[in-house]
Amino acid sequence: MRKRKLFGTIAILLTCAMFTACATPTSEPTSTPAGTPTTAPEEVTNVSYKVGEVSTYNAPAADYGLSIDASKEIHDISELLYGIFFEDINFASDGGLYAEMVYNRSFEFNHLALNDEKFCWTDVGSISATVIKGDKEGCLNINNPNYMLLKNDSAEPAGVRNKGFLEGMCVKADTSYNFSVYAKGMDGYTGPLHVSVIAGNETVASGEIKSLTSEWKKYELSLTSSKSATRSVYLVVTIDKGSAAIDMVSLFPAETYKGRENGLRKDLAEKLEALKPKFLRFPGGCVIEGISLELAYDWKDSIGVDENGDPLLFNGNYGDVAARKLGQNLWTNESLTNDAYPVFMTYGLGFYEYFLLSEDIGAIGVPVLNCGIAC
């Protein structure tokens, strides 16, 4: 902490002006006999204001004077009082600061969303695309029990596509994007997985995973867009004739803030850094409470834990985003069962990422925890 001069001249003068405008000299109350006609109070002429108008401080006309010695240091003010309060509301995290472009990437949305677990995914070609729910034996892990099963009986590639958050994805020309997916061949399928980004009817980026194995495996591709587009942009995933399972379908801009994997949008995070905050409070206020304690934000879920609350080992790592249980955001409208814009929490931007962001912008991380109440 270091000393700063406390300059309160403006605030004090405004306060004085307000006081002057509201103050009226008073006298001792007197009793008036019943039935005695009352007279209107005398107009006060020594108060510098007019009814219905905004008054300003007028030194000559003011009833009160105030002298300020701004050179005198009165109070010590902490440098830590200026910071950022992040609230996960209105897609501030998923669909906002968090750079993931795929909406409902793990097929874990529920009945509150339009088309339930298949929310935001539509069929491409002659395909049977079904979300397999709660498959404890064949799923990716206990926190990610749903996956998409693709069955293509045609001679042409077929699959599903995702439009992204809110009004949809957008891509920039000559810009690279990192695609990843967990996939496995079913019923002996070892064929390719075709991946593309389309804008309208035009393919602007494409790649191919040559062959799938019969076990879950993470596959990655780099896709570079040939043009910029902001409308009717979709990520498309298809297979040849046969069956395959997919999960955690993801698309990130290759350039994230500080180049971090599973990172943040560079443009937005740089604006936070430019504020030069001394602290970052996260992940919000009301969102911590949740609609119920059962559905409240759980910081442990944001780093990936098992049913006992212990860190979950997945893919050789602790804290893998594919092992984080989907959460229901407080701001989801529970009165709807076909919400076109449901708000869930992937926890891809979890406590670990919030602390990283705090370090990256030179701020102190201030986590908010539930104290046992629901909204």
Q: Give the closest residue to 171 by CA, choosing from 204, 200, 196.
A: 204
Query: What's the average model confidence in pLDDT over 149-162?
Result: 98
User: Does pLDDT of 1 surpass 80?
Assistant: no
pLDDT, residue 39, reads 54
pLDDT tens digits along 225-264: 999 999 999 999 999 999 999 999 999 999 999 999 999 9
| Least confident window among 17-31, 190-204, 267-281 | 17-31
Predicted pLDDT at 245 = 98
Q: Is the pLDDT of residue 356 over 90?
A: yes
For residue 258, give both structure tokens. 């500080």
Residue 218 in tokens = 């993470």
Report whether 330 contacts 90 (CB < 8 A).
Answer: no
What pLDDT score was predicted for residue 263?
Answer: 97
Question: How high is the pLDDT of residue 67?
Answer: 81
Whether the CB-CB separation of 179 and 250 falls below 8 Å is answered with yes
Sign of CA dihedral 326, 331, 335, 340: negative
How crowded is residue 302: how many other Cβ atoms within 10 Å of its Cβ? 25
The yes-or-no verdict on residue 109 having pLDDT over 70 is yes
Write b or e for each residue in 255-265: b if 16 or more Cβ atoms lie within 10 A of its Cβ, otherwise e.
Answer: ebbeeeebbbb
Q: How confident is the model at residue 152 (pLDDT cuts 50, 70, 90)?
A: very high
Predicted local distance difference test score (pLDDT) of residue 352: 97
Q: Considering only CA atoms, give the Rg of the chain.
A: 30
Tens-place pLDDT, residues 2-59: 333 333 333 333 333 333 333 334 444 444 455 455 555 455 444 555 677 776 667 7
Question: How confident is the model at residue 61, as a pLDDT?
Answer: 73
The C-alpha torsion from 177 through 181 and 197 to 176, rounded to 10°, is 10
Q: Would you state the pLDDT for residue 130?
A: 98
Mean pLDDT of the chain: 88
Q: What angle do CA 199, 200, 203 make, to 5 degrees?
A: 50
Determine the average pLDDT of the residues in 348-369: 97
More confident residue, 318 or 70: 318
Q: Write down the pTM of the prediction.
A: 0.81
* CA–CA distance, 198 with 209 (Å, rounded to integer): 18
The pLDDT assigned to 38 comes to: 52
